[in-house]
């Protein structure tokens, strides 16, 4: 089956082609045609009406959506979230866990493995294990009852059920540097998070292979003129990729602008860190056994601690576009390409021949109007 998408403003890393067309053959992109190029015949032709055509988004940090959380550990939760992510233009995601008991983690990994065998929505690209290896002083909205020191045996046990792509942990914990080194040896990205690490500890972890920082600036040692901290390290080194939650709650506008001024776009990854209250009315929810109240879209514990987000991915892109004014061909790196190449997720995140035909069509307000997954238009999300 050949499908031709025509009349699109095609945006891909380093590429902005108004009036372009894209040929899909089976599940992959076969060719890109700039405006004015003779077009081939196809079994189907889809006129995109001048809308944006971008690589399908990849959300490597998402806990839930639509009332469901991955740590519910049920097929129904994965189905709800997987289908719902398509409505945000997300075609691939890492199911992100919470700091919960081992039994719940095992149930979550088993449900993830089942979803991978019979996906009903966006692609499950693996697991992001967020916790339980966190500094108790930096738990944030993670349940302190289940925190523990880095444990490779537990990682191996869970990884055997469903592949782990990324582990968020506090590198200053006992054995943290060796833990990072061993994760890299297993093909898993260690990512600094919920951390009181000083600059020297950050540098040691970076040397061991920790080149991701989870929800950058949130619950980590800040930049200080005498104590540089993990935030300082993330800003200083181009090889450190940082996740940012552009919801207007986790980072102020000036901080988002500064990150994009200091860091190359090759080193920034948009995420949602969404909890089960995303795409739901305000109300009361649960996050890893902790009660959360969402008011005006802001999720908080009873003590006021921010507890994840209700952000939807396409709105993060709209926000950083408005704040930075950067070309979309640059921002396109932050929605999928950086995530895919840094986590070895395959040839995702580009609209080029040979890449999977995962794409999102966005209107002028960055709202998704159509999603393509493996060369097939998705409906009913």
Above pLDDT 90, what percent of the chain? 98
Q: What is the pLDDT of residue 326?
A: 98
**Which residues are designated catalytic?**
273
**pLDDT tens column, 366-376:** 999 999 999 99
Please tell us whether the domain made up of 2-54+350-377 is placed in CATH 2.30.40.10.
yes
What confidence score (pLDDT) does residue 100 get? 95
Task: Identify the weakest region by mean pLDDT among 103-112, 249-258, 285-294, 362-371.
Answer: 285-294
Q: Is 130 helix (H, G, I), strand (E, B) or coil?
A: strand
For residue 27, pLDDT beyond 90: yes
| Mean of pLDDT values over 173-195 | 98
Tell me the per-residue pLDDT of 297-344, one tens digit each, with 9 for 90 and over.
Answer: 999 999 999 999 999 999 999 999 999 999 999 999 999 999 999 999
Domain limits, CATH 3.20.20.140, in the chain: 58-342
| Parts of the chain belonging to CATH 2.30.40.10 | 2-54+350-377
Record the tokens describing residue 247, joined without a space. Answer: 């919801």
* Residues 381, 56: Cα–Cα separation, whole Å: 15
Q: Taking residues 46-58, report their average pLDDT.
A: 98
Alpha helices in the chain (DSSP H): 75-86, 102-117, 152-159, 176-185, 199-207, 229-236, 253-262, 313-324, 328-331, 337-342
Give the tens place of pLDDT for each residue, 113-133: 999 999 999 999 999 999 999
Mean pLDDT, residues 351-372 taken together:
98
pLDDT at position 375: 97
Q: What is the reported pTM?
A: 0.97
With beta carbons less than 8 A apart as the criterion, state whether 71 and 110 touch.
no
Check pLDDT > 80 for residue 380.
no
d(CA 23, CA 89): 20
SS (H, E, C) 232-246: HHHHHCCCCEEEEEC
- Position 258 pLDDT exceeds 70: yes
CB 360 within 8 A of CB 91: yes
How high is the pLDDT of residue 18? 98
Name the burial class of residue 283, with classes exposed (0-12), middle (13-18) and buried (19+) by CB atoms within 10 angstroms of its CB.
Answer: exposed
What pLDDT, on a 0 to 100 scale, did the predictor assign at position 35?
97
CB 61 within 8 A of CB 94: yes
Residue 259 three-state SS: helix
Task: Return mean pLDDT, the chain.
Answer: 97
CB neighbour burial string for 133-164, b if at least 16 within 10 angstroms, e if fewer: bbbeebbbbbbeebbeebeeebbeebbebbbb
Token couple for 208: 């061991």
Mean pLDDT of 62-87: 98
- Which pLDDT value is given to residue 164? 98
pLDDT at residue 81 in the model: 98
Within 10 angstroms of residue 86's Cβ, the number of other Cβ atoms is 22
- What CATH number matches the domain at 58-342, 3.20.20.70, 3.30.379.10, 3.20.20.140, 2.20.25.90? 3.20.20.140
Backbone angles phi, psi at 303, to 5 degrees: -85, 5
């Amino acid at each position: 089956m050949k499908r031709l998408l025509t009349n699109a403003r095609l945006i891909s890393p380093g590429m902005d082609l108004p009036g372009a067309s894209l040929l899909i053959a089976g599940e992959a992109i076969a060719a890109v045609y700039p405006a004015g190029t003779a077009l081939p015949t196809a079994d189907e032709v889809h006129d995109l009406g001048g809308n944006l055509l971008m690589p399908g988004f990849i959300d490597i940090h998402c806990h839930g959506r639509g009332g469901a959380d991955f740590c519910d550990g049920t097929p129904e939760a994965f189905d709800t979230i997987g289908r719902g992510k398509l409505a945000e233009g997300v075609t691939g995601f890492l199911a992100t866990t919470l700091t919960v008991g081992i039994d719940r983690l095992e149930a979550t990994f088993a449900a993830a493995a089942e979803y991978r065998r019979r996906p009903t929505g966006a692609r499950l690209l693996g697991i992001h294990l967020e916790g339980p290896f966190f500094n108790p002083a930096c738990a944030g909205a993670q349940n302190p009852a289940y925190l523990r020191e880095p444990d490779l045996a537990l990682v191996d046990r869970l990884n055997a059920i469903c592949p782990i792509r990324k582990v968020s942990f506090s590198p200053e914990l006992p054995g943290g540097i060796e833990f990072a080194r061993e994760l890299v040896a297993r093909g898993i990205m260690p990512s600094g998070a919920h951390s009181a690490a000083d600059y020297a500890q950050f540098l040691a972890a970076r040397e061991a292979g920790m080149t991701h920082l989870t929800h950058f600036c949130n619950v980590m040692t800040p930049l200080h003129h005498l104590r540089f901290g993990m935030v300082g390290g993330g800003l200083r080194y181009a090889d450190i990729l940082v996740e940012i939650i552009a919801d207007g709650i986790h980072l102020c506008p000036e901080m988002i602008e500064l990150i994009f001024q200091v860091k190359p776009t090759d080193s920034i990854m948009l995420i949602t860190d969404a909890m089960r209250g995303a795409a739901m009315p305000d109300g009361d929810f649960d996050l890893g056994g902790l009660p959360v109240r969402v008011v005006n879209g802001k999720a908080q514990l009873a003590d006021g601690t921010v507890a994840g987000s209700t952000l939807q991915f396409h709105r993060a892109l709209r926000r950083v576009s408005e704040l930075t004014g950067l070309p979309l061909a640059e921002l396109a790196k932050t929605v999928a390409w950086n995530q895919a190449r840094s986590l070895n997720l395959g040839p995702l995140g580009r609209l080029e021949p040979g890449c999977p035909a995962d794409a999102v069509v966005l209107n002028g307000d960055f709202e998704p109007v159509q999603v393509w997954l493996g060369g097939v238009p998705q409906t009913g999300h």
